[in-house]
Amino acid sequence: MQQRAKNTKEKILQAALKLFSQRGYHGATADQIAAAAGANKQRIYAYFQSKKRLFETCLLTVFEQANTQEELLLSLTEGDIPSMTTRILDSYLDIHARHPEFWRMIAWANLEPEPFHQCLANIKERSFAHLRQLYRQGQEAGQFPAATSFDAYMFTLLATSYFYHANRKTLASTLPSELFSPANRARFIAETASLLGAATDKG
């Protein structure tokens, strides 16, 4: 593919990501995406085959961006187990803060009847395999509750970080707004870790 074509394809992808994250799959039309990208609508079908495939590509893109940042978790070792929960949660909160399109695309993918989620199969397997091993070692050492599975542990961390950003406006109406302030973030992480039984986390 020539450089000009690559540039056009990237412009379409970025325009689609912005519009899909704002309006969802059905709320963003191919015409709107093409106009935002400054490209002919036919280029969308030439590069991505269909609007559905373009949405899936956007979904994969935000997950790959998150995975790039999540690579830092692969450097965790057995010696990091006491601080593992706070490190993971801090990383996930940071991912959502840096990539607001991430939680928005997740929300839209879950709202659509189309099974867009199928394109994400095993997308986090590399980091999860590493963290799962450390979690089991932590359980054996008494750092994590024996009765809490790795799946439940990760679900809680993923859900907490997602909900923290996706629902912060409504949550700030029912909970103290300072809960979401940068100054309170470390305390929030530490308290969440303690709820998971990771009382030895130092952050």
Do both 62 and 105 map to the same domain?
A: yes
Identify which of 75, 85, 69 has the alpha carbon closest to the alpha carbon of residue 188.
Answer: 85
In the predicted model, what is the mean pLDDT of residues 103-107? Answer: 94
SS3 (DSSP) at 1? coil
Q: Which residue has the tokens 């695309």?
A: 105
- As a whole number of angstroms, the distance between CA 47 and CA 66 comes to 24
Do both 100 and 150 map to the same domain?
A: yes
Residue 11 belongs to a domain: yes
Do both 36 and 127 map to the same domain?
A: no
Do both 15 and 42 map to the same domain?
A: yes
Do both 85 and 58 map to the same domain?
A: yes
Written as six digits, the tokens of 26 are 């059905």
Do both 90 and 173 map to the same domain?
A: yes
Which letter does DSSP use for residue 2 in this model? -
- What's the whole-number average pLDDT of the chain? 91
- Can you give the pLDDT at residue 203? 40
**The pLDDT of residue 199 is above 70:** no
In the predicted model, what is the mean pLDDT of residues 125-150? Answer: 94
Cβ 93 vs Cβ 85: under 8 Å: no
For the stretch 16-73, pLDDT in tens is 999 999 999 999 999 999 999 999 999 999 999 999 999 999 999 999 999 998 888 9
In the predicted model, what is the mean pLDDT of residues 149-156? Answer: 95
Q: Angle, to 10 degrees, between the axis of helix 41-48 and the axis of helix 51-70?
A: 60
CATH number assigned to the domain comprising residue 8: 1.10.10.60
Domain of residue 3: give its range: 1-49
Confidence tier at 180 by pLDDT (50, 70, 90): confident
- As a whole number of angstroms, the distance between CA 159 and CA 139 comes to 22
pTM of the predicted model as reported, rounded to 2 decimal places = 0.87
In the predicted model, what is the mean pLDDT of residues 171-178? Answer: 89
- How many structural domains compose the chain? 2
In the predicted model, what is the mean pLDDT of residues 172-184? Answer: 88
- Can you give the pLDDT at residue 198? 62
Which amino acid makes up residue 55?
F
CATH number assigned to the domain comprising residue 64: 1.10.357
Q: For the chain, what percent of residues have pLDDT higher than 70?
A: 97
Rg (CA), the chain: 20
- Can you give the pLDDT at residue 177? 87
Residue 96 belongs to a domain: yes
Do both 25 and 109 map to the same domain?
A: no
- Written as one string, the DSSP assignment of 99-142 is -HHHHHHHHHHHHSSS-GGGGGTTTTHHHHHHHHHHHHHHHHTT
Cβ 158 vs Cβ 92: under 8 Å: yes
- As a whole number of angstroms, the distance between CA 158 and CA 180 comes to 17
Do both 64 and 103 map to the same domain?
A: yes
Q: Which of 15-29, 80-94, 111-125 has the lowest mean pLDDT?
A: 111-125
Do both 89 and 172 map to the same domain?
A: yes
**Residue where a domain terminates, one of 49, 68, 84:** 49
Residue 203 belongs to a domain: no
In the predicted model, what is the mean pLDDT of residues 137-146? Answer: 93
